[in-house]
Structure 1
């Protein structure tokens, strides 16, 4: 094979290898304990990758507040928490889709077991419903509490409704969600190093052949 053609092919192969990289997926987990911000309404609040919306009867309401107090310290809720009117609907819109979601809810019901205490409706990337999950709550002191936990298909929105028939107020706490994040591609050094040796060898061979031909002349 002609030396020039060989060198050209080796150079093209080297460029292709240099352009290659390794990619991966990292899991970024966020937990909100509702003491990160000062006391304020959560309606239309965006923080740490999630936007909160709170409505009563379909109308935006300020009656759900960040960094407030509910049951104190129990199993799934540990004040301060997100505390609000159980007649309302709490919506969570995530900046990035989430594959894992968990939070605790406590309802002011005295010693009542609620079946369910609250429901959670999840929506996919196209805002199509993935179904409604009822969550039962168990009595503890003057509140009834339960834990919602999900792992599965990507979720862009979660809508939480509370059992307002038996509860006046709710406390929402320890919101944890996990989002897959693509890592930037990294170069692969070893094949490039090996290719460099091949190129150097080919150049050396070409130079030696040229000198040999000149010597014969």
Structure 2
């Protein structure tokens, strides 16, 4: 599931009402197939894009882009996307900053930001959840928190959303990937929580696209 939000030009959230409704679409496609469609709708090239959680670069396999090497030019390189690949693992991204603590020098520099941190609560606990523990030191905080694993995931998203607001230009686009899940017999509406966080931190929710697996 993809959630898209935009910063407001004046930094204040405004309810656009029926003039700009939140849309939901079901799409049968892989991540690499769907991502170019999302960019085409909301981030036309040329644009400078920060992928906060680049990983193996799956989203970008079918996108015409140029890898930036850290030079902020007056305009993005060429007529395509200038990609800034960031990942906590230095072997994956060109940059390896913690997504919850991006450089102040990046403030207001990007047209769009991608956020896709580890989010599985079940089925992937031994892998994805452990990666959160290792990379973001959440294991000890979880012991003290009543919210447990869902709290760790939400804190990671919240930290990323705050940093995205810092580095985005006004009217920039934040693209978030997440998934609603069932844990302990209860529905965990992660997408709803993320949209609430976006509003609290200064974004306006624009769209939601449902990835059908």
Greater share of helix: 2
What TM-score range do you get, normalising by the shorter chain? under 0.3
Q: TM-score, normalised by structure 2?
A: 0.26
Q: TM-score, normalised by structure 1?
A: 0.25
Greater share of strand: 1
